[in-house]
Amino acid sequence: MGVATTAKYDALWSAARARFLDGALQTDREPVDGDPRWGMSLVVLPDRETAEVLERQSAALDTAYRGKHHLTARADLHATVTSLEPYRETIAQHAVDHYVAAVEGSSVADDLRIRLRGLGGSTAGVFVQGFDDGTLLPLRQRMHAAAAALHHGAAPPMAFVRDTAHVSLSVHRQAIPEPAVVELVERSRNEDFGVLCAGRLALVAYRSRPGGLRLEVLHTFHGISPAPRPQSADPEAPAHESGPVPTG
């Protein structure tokens, strides 16, 4: 549990493909206070070069879509380490301080590294697949414990230790057939999109805007050094137990 694998992403796309073709997509809605999705999260932001690559892919996806869906803006691109809190109209400063201290009080984020390879998708949207090779697991476990500590020993449900490391490009707003998107995803299942690293770690919250949501950075972590890039890396890894499928 807690490690992104090729087997996991293949299973997600295999389950979603037919529903893209017949239009049985999972649609999202604007969050209200207390929603389990779109709350405070710890994320990794792309550097400028990687953001440009992802933005071009998002533009291609926008062209392929028939329906009106939420496409992630360049400034909002990210991979979620873990969700921490429900959606709130007002962010509690003591919660921000608590999670900042949890990250800064440990070195578990130092080796964080996510390789972005291939488009994938679930019924909720299209994403770039991320492979963290286990580097996210110690930080995810630490933040789950921090969430539990803030809530009298029981972490909120959204603060589970997730097993994907993807970058969402779209969130579905309409349930209609999207055959061109299937073609685009399947052409790009093994395309290289870059690397995310520890130097871009941030605590964020989501804010409603016309047509979707935007990312508000609450705290950027400085002094975290990215791990050295290995000579070679294999995205294949043994399958792990799966958790819920996030789209944010």
Pick out the chain residues at pLDDT < 70: 1-2, 211, 223-248
- Residues in CB range of 147: below 8 A, 6 or more apart: 84, 85, 155, 156, 159
pLDDT at 177: 98
For the entire predicted model, the pTM comes to 0.87
pLDDT on residue 234: 41
pLDDT for the residue 224: 61
Top-level CATH class of 6-220?
Answer: alpha beta
Kindly list the distances between the CA atom of residue 179 and the CA atoms of 20, 78, 80, 175, 186, in Å, as whole numbers in the listed order. 7, 26, 28, 12, 11
Residue 211: its pLDDT value, please?
64
Helices (H), the chain: 6-22, 48-64, 93-104, 137-150, 179-187
- Give the tokens for residue 70: 């939420």
- Identify the CA nearest to 2 among candidates 143, 200, 154: 143
pLDDT at 198: 83
* Domain boundaries, given as residue ranges, for the chain: 6-220
